[in-house]
């Protein structure tokens, strides 16, 4: 946690203050005269009766420090202490300090008379149930925060009513009550004492490090327990008569768990556990301790012999694991012999050590955190694992990816390509480390690994510069992605022998450069750019290439100056829903379909945009082919001629885009079904009766249909102007591109 200014809470020097309000007062603006009516001097009990540090950082003697902003609770208004601490209310106190003044805890809450108990930390370890006694809880999976929330509580208190008549709801006003808190939680520092680490130490890898320790014993560990009262009189009652009953916990009815795990590891080997008082008559058997490190785990059981001992300069290992854990459990709630709570049960703290032979590390199930960890773990495996069959789980980063650069990629590839490999790489499914994909990164053009194998379904991504030029072996590869900004050169044969599944799809979100004669045998979806230079061929052999589109702005592009097609007598297909540009007159383009089945002109401008465009070079050529079984989509000619005639359009296009500073358009070929006006000048279209499927005149552009000319359009997108002195017929102005029926008003009728 972030550290704030710390304050030592001296014995009976600090204070807690609260304001008491009547029912008629505004709680958010208490009267100044009612500030600090009750003061609590608060400290924590030390072994010699003196207070110890109380909060945040655990010191060598298990002290904790209070910090500004810390909270305490006063459970108050208990009608009868013998009523099992029910029917209470809760007042929260916040710690603060001013320069030169004592550290104080203050509340604005109303405090009720009768029974009360002060607890720390407020509403974190102690659950406020209101109708039943407060419940103390600790997590089964502990971390560095857990020890900072070690529970403490005071004795049972009796707060008297206000001692002046005719005043309500001001219990304890003007009085000072001394509070000393006793530990309920027991702190255990369990130190791993490793042996036989030399095989790892000499490998040049990151040092061996304990990441977590788990104690396992059936029904042993209390995770929830209720606060209760004890009829005994507190030891210091004569000094502090407010203390009327001894506070206790209900050890007969605790909730238990079979294991406690902590990731709070200090100095590499010291694991910190927080334990609650052990349930009555808890006797364990067959316990074990699992020590997890960055290179695997060691499981310590009774069969290992006496490997548990009290931490000291020289440790005497005189207990088995079960005996050691039993001793700790037996001392989580024991009689105090000194201090303010003599004769009462209080929490303890202790240090124990346990021996662990690291040459017996079990690497199965190891989570690999990043690429350097992967490289190191493979070296450790070779040194100590004796070719054991293991699973390595790859953890995802903040993007849910496990990233490998060149060195890690080479180490991984060499491993999975080895016929004798016994390591299976899987993606982590743990919520905290979930991995959704493996990303390979290369800063220089590098061949895609010859073998990609995982043990679970794995999407693979490529970032940087890559090349795919020969057959690969895939296992559990669900997809290959060239990510945005990445470049992959494809040449020769792009294929793979795949299992689990038997087919793998390539998705290009970056740039694919085709080099030489390239045959594609894997299905591919293009959302980025495919460049086919002069002399290059990109041919489908049993593969389906989809040049995709998801909107008007997001679509795949293919720049073709060579050849794009399907090899004869194969089952390959090319579906174009994006944009293909013929870069020269010799470019050869064959597509199986240029539109998705059932799509109309209006659909091209909808969200899915599944009508493709092939932009011809010049007026087109016979090398642009849409299969007879496919849909033609848009075969586009873009002309910037001042006057557009059939010669500028040619015989192959069905879509004409008029640009430049065109001022005139003549009769167009009958093959033209779509016209888009984007000229900087007004275009005068002189034509006999001409029927279109679609006409586009966007904002800022205009079309003039002079007297004697006639144009009929099924659908028109009209944000610009049509000056109609002739005959213009259209009944649909809202079919696409966000058009509206009111756009018909943009037709200006002339004489």
Three-state secondary structure readout of 349-410: EEEEEEEEEHHHCECCCEEECCHHHHHHHHHHHHHHCCCCCEEEEECCCCCCEEEECHHHHH
300 versus 39: which is more confidently predicted? 300
When the pLDDT of each residue in the chain is averaged and rounded to a whole number, the result is: 87
Judgement on whether residues 283 and 314 belong to the same structural domain of the protein: yes
Judgement on whether residues 135 and 255 belong to the same structural domain of the protein: no
Judgement on whether residues 194 and 68 belong to the same structural domain of the protein: no
Average the pLDDT over 447-458 and give the result: 98
Average the pLDDT over 364-386 and give the result: 97
Domain count, the chain: 4
pLDDT in the model for residue 176:
62
Where helices occur in 385-483 by DSSP H, the ranges are: 406-417
- Of the three residues 476, 511, 545, the one that is the final residue of a domain is 476
Percent of the chain with pLDDT over 70: 86
Q: Is residue 194 within 8 Å of residue 358, measured between CB atoms?
A: yes
**Angle in degrees, CA 400, 403, 404, rounded to 5:** 160
Q: Is residue 323 within 8 Å of residue 310, measured between CB atoms?
A: no
Judgement on whether residues 25 and 95 belong to the same structural domain of the protein: yes
Judgement on whether residues 108 and 212 belong to the same structural domain of the protein: no
586 falls within a domain: no
**Angle in degrees, CA 741, 743, 745, rounded to 5:** 110
pLDDT in the model for residue 348:
86
Average the pLDDT over 613-623 and give the result: 88
pLDDT in the model for residue 51:
38
Judgement on whether residues 371 and 354 belong to the same structural domain of the protein: no
Judgement on whether residues 374 and 388 belong to the same structural domain of the protein: yes
535 falls within a domain: no
pLDDT in the model for residue 8:
27
Kindly give the pairing relationship between strand 349-357 and strand 186-195.
parallel
pLDDT band at 397 (very low <50, low <70, confident <90, very high): very high
601 falls within a domain: no
- The answer, yes or no, to whether residue 178 has pLDDT greater than 80, is no
404 falls within a domain: yes
Q: Is residue 688 within 8 Å of residue 710, measured between CB atoms?
A: yes
Judgement on whether residues 352 and 462 belong to the same structural domain of the protein: no
Pull the structure tokens for residue 588.
């050869």
Judgement on whether residues 312 and 377 belong to the same structural domain of the protein: no
518 falls within a domain: no
User: Rounded to an integer, what distance in angstroms lies between the CA atom of residue 42 and that of residue 311?
Assistant: 32
The helix (run of H) or strand (run of E) holding residue 201 is helix 198-201
Cis peptide before 418 (omega within 30 of 0): no
Average the pLDDT over 657-671 and give the result: 96
509 falls within a domain: no
User: Rounded to an integer, what distance in angstroms lies between the CA atom of residue 399 and that of residue 379?
Assistant: 27
2 versus 172: which is more confidently predicted? 172
Report the number of secondary-structure helices (H) and strands (E) in the chain: 5, 61
Handedness of CA 88, 94, 100, 102 (dihedral sign): positive
- For the entire predicted model, the pTM comes to 0.81
- The answer, yes or no, to whether residue 452 has pLDDT greater than 80, is yes
618 falls within a domain: no
Judgement on whether residues 211 and 138 belong to the same structural domain of the protein: no
Average the pLDDT over 206-221 and give the result: 97
SS3 state of residue 81: helix
Q: Is residue 71 within 8 Å of residue 42, measured between CB atoms?
A: no
pLDDT in the model for residue 609:
80
- The answer, yes or no, to whether residue 137 has pLDDT greater than 80, is yes
pLDDT band at 66 (very low <50, low <70, confident <90, very high): low
Pull the structure tokens for residue 600.
């109309």
**Angle in degrees, CA 590, 592, 593, rounded to 5:** 110
Beta bridge mates, 243:
157
Judgement on whether residues 103 and 155 belong to the same structural domain of the protein: yes
Judgement on whether residues 256 and 377 belong to the same structural domain of the protein: no
Can you give the C-alpha Rg of the chain in angstroms? 40
- Of the three residues 476, 502, 530, the one that is the final residue of a domain is 476
- The answer, yes or no, to whether residue 23 has pLDDT greater than 80, is no
Average the pLDDT over 417-440 and give the result: 97
User: Rounded to an integer, what distance in angstroms lies between the CA atom of residue 527 and that of residue 522?
Assistant: 16
User: Rounded to an integer, what distance in angstroms lies between the CA atom of residue 503 and that of residue 520?
Assistant: 13
pLDDT in the model for residue 158:
86
pLDDT band at 170 (very low <50, low <70, confident <90, very high): low
pLDDT in the model for residue 98:
63
SS3 state of residue 4: coil
User: Rounded to an integer, what distance in angstroms lies between the CA atom of residue 325 and that of residue 282?
Assistant: 11
Kindly give the pairing relationship between strand 89-96 and strand 141-142.
unpaired
371 closest CA partner among 463, 455, 306: 463
Average the pLDDT over 110-115 and give the result: 78
- Of the three residues 326, 360, 394, the one that is the final residue of a domain is 360
Sorted by sequence, the CB contacts under 8 Å of residue 312 that are 6+ apart come out as: none
pLDDT in the model for residue 172:
52
pLDDT band at 599 (very low <50, low <70, confident <90, very high): confident
128 falls within a domain: yes
52 versus 247: which is more confidently predicted? 247
User: Rounded to an integer, what distance in angstroms lies between the CA atom of residue 632 and that of residue 444?
Assistant: 41
- The answer, yes or no, to whether residue 76 has pLDDT greater than 90, is no
Average the pLDDT over 568-590 and give the result: 94
- Domain of 116: which CATH number? 2.60.40
Average the pLDDT over 108-123 and give the result: 78
Query: What's the domain range around 32?
Result: 6-184
pLDDT in the model for residue 84:
77
- pLDDT tens, 486-533? 999 999 999 999 999 999 999 999 999 999 999 999 999 999 999 999
Beta bridge mates, 319:
308
């Amino acid at each position: 946690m972030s550290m704030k200014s710390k304050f030592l809470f001296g014995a009976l020097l600090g204070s807690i203050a609260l304001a008491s309000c009547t029912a008629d007062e505004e709680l958010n603006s208490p009267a100044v005269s009612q500030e600090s009516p009750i003061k609590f001097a608060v400290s924590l009990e030390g072994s010699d009766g003196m207070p110890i540090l109380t909060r945040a950082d655990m010191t060598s003697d298990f002290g904790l420090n209070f910090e500004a902003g810390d909270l305490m609770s006063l459970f108050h208004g208990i009608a009868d202490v013998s009523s099992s601490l029910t029917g209470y209310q809760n007042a929260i106190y916040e710690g603060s300090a001013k320069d030169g003044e004592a550290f104080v805890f203050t509340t604005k809450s109303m405090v009720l008379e009768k029974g009360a108990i002060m607890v720390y930390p407020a509403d974190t370890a102690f659950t406020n149930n209101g109708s039943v006694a407060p419940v103390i809880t600790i997590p089964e999976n502990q971390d560095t925060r857990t020890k900072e929330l070690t529970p403490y509580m005071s004795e049972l208190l009796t707060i008297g009513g206000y001692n002046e008549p005719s005043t309500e709801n001001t219990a304890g006003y003007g009085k000072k009550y001394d509070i000393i808190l006793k530990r309920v939680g027991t702190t255990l520092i369990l130190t791993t004492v490793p042996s036989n680490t030399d095989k790892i130490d000499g490998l040049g890898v990151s040092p061996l490090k304990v990441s977590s320790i788990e104690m396992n014993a059936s029904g042993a560990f209390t995770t929830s327990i209720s606060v209760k009262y004890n009829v005994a009189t507190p030891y210091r009652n004569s000094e502090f008569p407010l203390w009327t009953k001894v506070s206790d916990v209900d050890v007969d009815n605790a909730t238990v768990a079979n294991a406690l795990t902590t990731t709070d590891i200090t100095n590499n080997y010291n694991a910190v556990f927080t334990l609650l008082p052990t349930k009555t008559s808890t006797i364990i058997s067959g316990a074990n301790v699992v020590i997890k490190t960055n290179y695997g785990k060691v499981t310590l059981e009774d069969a290992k012999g006496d490997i548990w001992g009290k931490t000291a300069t020289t440790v005497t290992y005189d207990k088995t694991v079960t005996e050691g854990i039993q001793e700790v459990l037996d001392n989580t709630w024991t009689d105090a012999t000194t201090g303010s709570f003599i004769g009462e049960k209080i929490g303890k703290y202790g240090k124990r050590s346990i021996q662990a032979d690291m040459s017996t590390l079990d690497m199965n199930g190891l989570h690999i955190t990043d690429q350097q960890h992967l490289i190191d773990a493979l070296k450790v495996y070779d040194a100590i694992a004796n070719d054991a069959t293991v699973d390595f789980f790859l953890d995802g980063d903040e993007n849910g990816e496990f990233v490998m650069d060149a060195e890690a990629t080479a180490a991984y590839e060499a491993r999975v390509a080895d016929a004798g490999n016994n390591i299976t790489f899987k993606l982590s499914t743990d919520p905290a480390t979930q991995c959704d994909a493996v990303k390979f990164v290369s800063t220089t053009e590098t061949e895609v690994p010859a073998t990609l194998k995982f043990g679970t379904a794995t999407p693979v991504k490529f970032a940087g510069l890559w090349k795919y030029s020969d057959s690969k072996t895939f296992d559990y590869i669900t997809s290959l992605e060239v990510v945005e900004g990445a470049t992959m050169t494809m040449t020769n044969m792009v294929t793979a022998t795949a299992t689990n599944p038997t087919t793998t799809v390539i998705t290009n979100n970056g740039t694919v450069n085709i080099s030489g004669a390239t045959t594609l045998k894997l299905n591919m979806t293009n959302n980025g750019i495919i460049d086919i230079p002069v002399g290059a061929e990109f041919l489908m052999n049993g593969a389906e290439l989809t040049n995709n589109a998801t909107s008007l702005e997001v679509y795949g592009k293919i720049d073709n100056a060579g050849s794009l097609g399907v090899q004869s007598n194969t089952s390959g297909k090319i579906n174009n829903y994006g944009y293909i540009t013929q870069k020269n007159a010799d470019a050869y383009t064959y597509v199986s379909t240029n539109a998705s089945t059932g799509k109309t002109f209006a659909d091209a401008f909808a969200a899915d945009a599944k009508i493709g465009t092939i932009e011809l070079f010049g007026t087109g050529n016979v090398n642009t082919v849409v299969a007879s079984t496919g849909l033609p989509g848009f075969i586009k000619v873009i002309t910037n001629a001042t006057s557009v005639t059939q010669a500028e359009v040619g015989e192959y296009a069905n879509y004409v885009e008029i640009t430049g500073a065109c001022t005139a358009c003549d009769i167009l070929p009958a093959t033209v079904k779509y016209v888009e006006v984007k000229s900087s000048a007004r275009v005068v279209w002189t034509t006999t009766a001409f029927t279109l499927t679609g006409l586009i005149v966007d904002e800022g552009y205009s079309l003039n249909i002079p007297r004697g000319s006639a144009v009929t359009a099924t659908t028109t997108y009209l944000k610009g102007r049509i000056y109609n002195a002739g005959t213009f017929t259209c009944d649909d102005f809202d079919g696409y591109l966000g058009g509206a029926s009111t756009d018909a008003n943009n037709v200006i009728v002339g004489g």
